[in-house]
Amino acid sequence: MAIRIDGKAISAEIRAELKEKTEAFAAARGYRPGLAVIIVGEDPASQVYVRNKKRACEEVGFYSRGYELPASTSQKELLALIDTLNADPAIHGILVQLPLPKHLDESEVLLRIDPKKDVDAFHPYNVGKIMIGDYRFLPCTPAGVMALLERTGIEIAGKKCVVVGRSNIVGKPMAMLLLHANGTVTVCHSRTKELSSVTREADILVVAIGRADFITADMVKPGAVVIDVGMNRRADGKLTGDVDFASVEPIASAITPVPGGVGPMTITMLLQNTLTAASV
C-alpha cells in the first residue's frame, strides 16, 4: 500500500514556518508582507478561492487587501488599479483571480503587473525566468508539488518523470521544475498516442488534466509515485482527482489524495511567494 502524501499536514508545517519568518521580518523591517487580491465579477468558485487566500494571509500574519470589482469593470479601470498597486509600497504581491469576465483581456492584465509583484508567476518575464532556471517565484501549484516531493523525501534526480497535461499554469511549468531537479521528463497531452504505455514508464507520474478518475491502475507502474493535481466535482458534489485513487493506491509507492494532497499546497506557495517578493 502506498504512502499517502498528506498535503494538509505538509502545508500546515510550511505555514507555521512562514508565520515565524513573517514575525522576524516584521520585527526587522517594521512592516508586514502585503498581498492585494483582485476579483472581478461574482463567480462563486473564485469568491471562495479569494476568501481562502485572505484567510491564509491572516493566518501567517500578512497584511492583505481585497478588491471586489463589479463584472462591468472596464479594462481601463482594472489596469489603473494594477498601476496603483504596482506603485504602492505596502503591497508586495498582486494577484488577479482568473478567469476574468469575457470582455476583459487577460493577457494584457497579467502583463501589466510588475514582475516583482507577480506572485502567481504568470507574467511572461517570470515564465521566461522559470525556463532558464533563474527564478524568484515559482507558479504556485507546480511549486506545491515540488515541496510535497521534497518534504516526503522523494528523490527526483535520474528518475523518469511523466507529466500528463501541458497547461501554462500547471503542466508546462511542472515539467520544467522536474527537469531543473534533474528528472528525465516526458510531457503528455490529449494528442499523445498510447498514453498508458508512456505513463507506465513513469517513476514519478504527475497528472493535471481535469478528468475525473482518468488514470487507472493499468496505466501506472507498480511502485511509482503518483501526484494527482486534478480537482473535479462529481455529480454528487464530491471532489475527486484525475487519478482513480481506489485502484492506483494499492500499487503505487506514494500517492496524493484528493482532497488533501496538492490542493492545500497551492495557497501556501502563494504565501511563500509573497514573503519572497517582500524580502527583496
Of 166, 243, 255, 257, which one interacts with ligand NDP (CB under 6 A)?
Answer: 166
- Return d(Cα 240, Cα 262) in angstroms, integer: 12
Q: Is 231 in the site for ligand NDP (CB under 6 A)?
A: yes
CB of 25 to ligand NDP, least distance (A): 26
Selected binder of ligand NDP within 209, 225, 252, 254 (CB under 6 A): 209
Q: Which of 60, 170, 254, 255 binds ligand NDP (CB under 6 A)?
A: 170
Pick from 143, 164, 178, 205: which binds ligand NDP (CB under 6 A)? 164
Name the 3-class secondary structure at 94.
strand
* Binding piece for ligand NDP, criterion CB under 6 A, among 30-38, 91-99, 102-110, 162-170: 162-170
Q: Residue 18 has which C-alpha cell? A: 512562514
Q: How many C-beta atoms surround the C-beta of residue 270 within 10 A? A: 25
Residue 60: other Cβ atoms inside 10 A: 23
Grid cell in block for residue 202: 513513469
Q: Indicate the helix (H) or strand (E) that contains 65.
A: strand 63-69
Asked if 208 interacts with ligand NDP (CB under 6 A), we say yes
Residue count at the site for ligand NDP (CB under 6 A)?
A: 25
Q: Does 199 bind ligand NDP (CB under 6 A)?
A: no
Please identify which residue in 229, 248, 254, 275 interacts with ligand NDP, judged by CB under 6 A: 229
Residue length of the chain: 280
**46 touching ligand NDP, by CB under 6 A:** no
Q: Does 142 bind ligand NDP (CB under 6 A)?
A: no
Instruction: Find the binder of ligand NDP among 41, 93, 183, 230 (CB under 6 A).
Output: 230
Contact 78, 106 (CB under 8 A): no
Catalytic residue positions, numbered: 53, 97, 120
End-to-end CA distance of the chain: 44
Q: Distance between CA atoms of 120 and 110, rounded to whole angstroms?
A: 10
Q: Cα separation of 63 and 76, whole Å?
A: 26
- Give Cα 158 distance to the centre of its chain: 24
| Closest separation in Å from C-beta 147 to ligand NDP | 13
Element holding 37 (H helix, E strand):
strand 34-40
Q: Which is nearer to ligand NDP, 163 or 278 (CB)?
A: 163
List of residues contacting ligand NDP (CB under 6 A)? 141, 164-167, 169-171, 188-192, 195, 208-211, 229-232, 262-263, 266
